[in-house]
Structure 1
């Protein structure tokens, strides 16, 4: 194979798992997606900073260890600031990252990084996040003590960051997922018939995902690759 080839850089995506699961579990859950989707990204799977303080809902499906980002009750959100600092520190040391992908609790976290950057509340030491993929995500519910200080203004204006939201018919967080979707400017949405999980992508879901990928590809510069380099890579 001769000549030079031009290709686009793969976006680097930091993946944030759900409550009392792990980065490895999220990786396995996403493995059901087609290669035509997965091969477009360079994924990095991060474990949350705190070991699970109770039973995991996935114990019958996936082996431990299990981790959690924060804990929430009607009064307050516990360890939220610590988990934000932990994620930002990881992004400083292992980035730069172009996008974020999050499932459930991780989806909630991924969704608030762009507005926290906008407000200068956090993630000011890392490049601006260009897009987010949110699976079974949600807006943090109202707390008697009010939202964590870092989130005071995140929903004050629509979140102007390209976003893709996967929401299931049987997800117990479905309504809060739609609340989150409505917080974004021009979001894309994949509807599926399952519950609180990373779904397989049917034909329509794959089409929407690939449409989103084409949209974000335009943000990345093309790179020149020699024929020899391309051949060796294959």
Structure 2
């Protein structure tokens, strides 16, 4: 019989946005979320597998290199190197796991949102434990309003995603329709609206309480005993 315990800190793989890196997402969360809240999760930040090919000026206060999780044409209708991306993520989940959930921002959120469905369909991430929850910041749906759909994710949203999900939607985000579309792919999604654009939000007191409630909920999910948490 497998040995289980209720983990105090769910272990979360964190995936940054397009043209970003693990250091940037770490700092964005530290600036926008209170420390006591971040300390409720065991956060592990990973760089994307591909060096960014385009010039990015938005991160001039941060040091390159910048990365992307997968590559695409200019309108994101054709997506490339997606299988390699998933193999890279799975290898790191095996190396640094066990992971209980995934948190993603922007491109990382779009990827994160598709992962439970691909696991359900047994087309990807089959060597690692089932993802038990997702935290989605400014994500979009593969095959939705703006994104094309890589082959491996073609059935990821064929039926509603059942794992608990927490979604952050910026009221001034130009991609807000994508984010709202994505929430409809999950059963009983928890949604936090924030009055900012396409960025990691600064959480107010009400949002912090909602996040704490979500964390307390996922902590009750039985999780395998954790390994070393140092990346």
The TM-score bracket by the shorter chain reads: 0.7 to 0.9
Runs of 4+ in 1 over 6 A off after TM superposition: none
Does the C-alpha gap of structure 1 residues 142 and 131 become closer, same or farther in structure 2, counting only changes over 3 Å?
closer
Name the TM-score, length of structure 2 as normaliser: 0.88
- Say whether the 8 Å CA contact 2:6–2:219 is kept in structure 1: no
Q: CA deviation at 1:220?
A: 4.3
> Structure 1 CA distance, aligned partners of 2:173 and 2:55?
20
Computed over aligned residues only, the root mean square deviation of the Cα atoms, in angstroms, reads 2.0
Q: CA deviation at 1:92?
A: 1.2
Does the C-alpha gap of structure 1 residues 90 and 11 become closer, same or farther in structure 2, counting only changes over 3 Å?
same
Q: CA deviation at 1:57?
A: 4.6
> Which position in structure 2 is the counterpart of 1:80?
82
> Which position in structure 1 is the counterpart of 2:62?
62
> Structure 1 CA distance, aligned partners of 2:184 and 2:210?
18
- Say whether the 8 Å CA contact 1:20–1:57 is kept in structure 2: no
- Say whether the 8 Å CA contact 1:16–1:107 is kept in structure 2: yes
Q: CA deviation at 1:8?
A: 4.0
Determine which structure has more spread, i.e. the larger CA radius of gyration: 1
DSSP 3-state at the match of 2:62: coil
**Structure 2 gap ranges (5+):** 226-231
DSSP 3-state at the match of 1:15: strand
Q: CA deviation at 1:212?
A: 0.5
DSSP 3-state at the match of 1:31: helix
**Alignment size in residue pairs:** 216
Q: CA deviation at 1:69?
A: 1.0
Name the TM-score, length of structure 1 as normaliser: 0.87
